[in-house]
């Protein structure tokens, strides 16, 4: 697709991978809306990119419906949904608490489902559209302490497969992007941005992958793409 003057909605677009994706799309000429829960951070990010800021929690159904209404009011129509918003905690099974488990699934699984549902209604009516789900290589294999986060990414991967089956007859492309470890505040412990490491993936690398798969001609698409650092070192 030609990203120039296309429209895109990026959830969790105020920082990290979401911000990098939103900026890459805007740099390519797209008109972009971003969501986030922190109003101050969201406003700063939107000003930097030149995007429409929509404060919303993707796990809240009313917020999701309002997000779509505000996006269409601001952009006129929607060509691309990027389901990026996500959270994670990592605990041993014996220490896993129900509250954090359900919170992770609410954001990482229910949120993309709600956003995808509302976008699909719009895309089906237009007979075209693109949904990009940002998952993780965690959704391709298990690991110790990953019960909640890894399982949520397995679930997102499964939903993506289902959506492809439903939406391809409507000329809607559904992509799954699996980043490996990326240097973003997602993995931060609260002491600020993680230290730079030239051997690890950066958010801009994932944004490059998203832009690249979208720019392929609409007659085809890349169903799933995993991105790894070539030779990561601590």
Determine whether 149 is an active site residue.
Answer: yes
Task: Provide φ and ψ at 134, rounded to 5°.
Answer: -90, 105
What's the alpha-carbon Rg for the chain, to the nearest Å?
17
- Please report the DSSP string for 183-219 in residue order: ESGGG--SSSSPPP-TTSEEHHHHHHHHHHHHHS-TT
217 contacts: CB under 8 Å, gap ≥ 6: 1
Q: Which residue in 19, 123, 149, 163 is the catalytic one?
A: 149
Q: Is 170 exposed, middle or buried (0-12, 13-18, 19+ CB in 10 A)?
A: middle
3-state secondary structure (DSSP) of residue 148 = helix
Contact 153, 200 (CB under 8 A): no
- Residue 1, both tokens: 């697709």
- The residues carrying an active-site annotation are 149
């Amino acid at each position: 697709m030609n990203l120039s003057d296309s429209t895109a909605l990026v959830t969790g677009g105020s920082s990290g991978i979401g911000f990098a994706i939103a900026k890459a799309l805007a740099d390519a000429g797209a008109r972009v809306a971003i969501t986030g829960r922190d109003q101050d951070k969201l406003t700063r990010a939107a000003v930097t990119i030149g995007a429409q800021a929509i404060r919303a929690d993707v796990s809240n159904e009313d917020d999701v419906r309002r997000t779509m209404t505000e996006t269409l009011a601001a952009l006129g129509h929607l060509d691309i949904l990027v389901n990026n918003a996500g959270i994670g905690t990592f605990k041993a099974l014996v220490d896993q608490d129900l509250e954090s488990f359900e919170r992770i699934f609410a954001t990482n699984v229910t949120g993309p489902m709600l956003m995808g549902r509302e976008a699909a209604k719009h895309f089906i009516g237009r007979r075209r559209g693109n949904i990009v789900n940002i998952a993780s290589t965690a959704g391709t294999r298990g690991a110790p302490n990953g019960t909640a986060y890894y399982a949520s990414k397995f679930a997102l991967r499964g939903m993506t497969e289902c959506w492809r089956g439903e939406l391809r007859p409507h000329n809607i492309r559904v992509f799954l992007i699996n980043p490996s470890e990326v240097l973003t505040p997602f993995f931060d412990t609260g002491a600020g941005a993680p230290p730079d490491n030239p051997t690890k993936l950066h958010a801009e690398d994932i944004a490059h992958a998203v832009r690249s798969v979208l720019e392929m001609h609409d007659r085809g698409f890349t169903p799933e793409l995993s991105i790894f650092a070539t030779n990561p070192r601590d």
